[in-house]
Structure 1
Amino acid sequence: MTEIESTVRRFVADVWNGGREETAYEIVAADCPGLGATGPDGTLAWHRDRRAAFPDLRYKVVDLVVSADRAAVRWRAAGTQLGQFGPVPPTGQLVSYSGATFLRFDTDGKIIDAWSVNELFQLLQQLGVEVLPPA
């Protein structure tokens, strides 16, 4: 296993699944873009928000590809909505959805860029949100 692969798996296990915020400070670079802030604080802001809505949310790595200073992670996630998710009040609904996260690393092995895409529309449908096109 490469150092980058090990870091990605640790990121998913510790930060995404374990809520061990100290790991983000060890493996996310200070200038990594995030939600409203840069570095570990920006990364953690997104995960805190998501965990507030889905406290039991768990991610499973489906596929992981590493090349030079980059990694692509295809994942599945499942959790129960017990908190506010955007405009959607708590539903108690169990949801499952997929996505992919693309990471770039600096020469010290820290994450300097993270970009994700996921099945947000499918997630919202599972919460009972009806999305209608404009009239």
Structure 2
Amino acid sequence: MTADREAAVRRLIADVWNGTNETTAYELVAPDCPGLGASGPAGVLAWHQERRASFPDLRYKVVDLVVSGDRAAVHWRAAGTQLGQFGPVPPTGAVVSYSGATFLRFDADGLIADVWSVNELFQLLQQLGVEMLPPA
């Protein structure tokens, strides 16, 4: 079972996060998994499609992956070029590289039921030239 879950996480990253085969989300993600503006595969896809609209060549690489029971944790690195709007930041053409961690929970059917991520957003914004100033 651990090998199956590890394979599912690696496939999610290769196909969905890296955008090579988005239909994989419909095979791996449970209908009630929280996402961006919608639940299930569509919500998970929406987040990654939004990020790729800003960074069309964004690619994730697995640094470390641990699976235990119905949980998985992934330490990843991502890199891409900002060619689209990213929040309030207009396209800069800057190449960024940042890392993060994603935690997943699988349901009884072996589908991804929850995804939660943290990443170095501050570092990403600095690479785009955004100045962070404390309140006056």
Classify the TM-score, shorter chain.
over 0.9
Partner secondary structure for residue 15 of structure 1: helix
Q: Which digits, 9 at most, give the CA deviation of each residue in 1:47-83, with x for residues without a partner?
A: 0100000000000000000000000000000000000
Residue aligning to 2:52: 51
Residue aligning to 2:94: 93
Deviation of 1:18 after TM superposition, in Å, equals 3.1
Partner secondary structure for residue 36 of structure 2: coil
Residue aligning to 1:6: 7
Residue aligning to 2:82: 81
Matched positions, count: 135
CA distance, structure 1, for counterparts of residue 127 and residue 50 of structure 2 = 19
Q: Which digits, 9 at most, give the CA deviation of each residue in 1:74-126, with x for residues without a partner?
A: 00000000000000000000000000000000121110000000000000000
CA distance, structure 2, for counterparts of residue 127 and residue 47 of structure 1 = 19
Would you say 1:24 and 2:8 are equivalent positions?
no
Q: What letter is aligned with 1:122?
A: Q
Partner secondary structure for residue 87 of structure 1: coil
Output the aligned Cα RMSD: 0.8
CA distance, structure 1, for counterparts of residue 95 and residue 103 of structure 2 = 26
Q: Which digits, 9 at most, give the CA deviation of each residue in 1:28-50, with x for residues without a partner?
A: 00000001110011101100100
Q: What letter is aligned with 2:24?
A: T
Deviation of 1:19 after TM superposition, in Å, equals 3.7
Partner secondary structure for residue 2 of structure 1: helix
**When the two structures are superposed, what TM-score results if normalisation uses the length of structure 2?**
0.97
Residue aligning to 2:110: 109
CA distance, structure 2, for counterparts of residue 97 and residue 19 of structure 1 = 21
Q: Give structure 1 stretches of 5+ with no counterpart.
A: none
Residue aligning to 2:128: 127
CA distance, structure 2, for counterparts of residue 90 and residue 99 of structure 1 = 22
CA distance, structure 2, for counterparts of residue 85 and residue 30 of structure 1 = 28
Deviation of 1:20 after TM superposition, in Å, equals 1.4
Would you say 1:72 and 2:73 are equivalent positions?
yes
Partner secondary structure for residue 35 of structure 2: coil
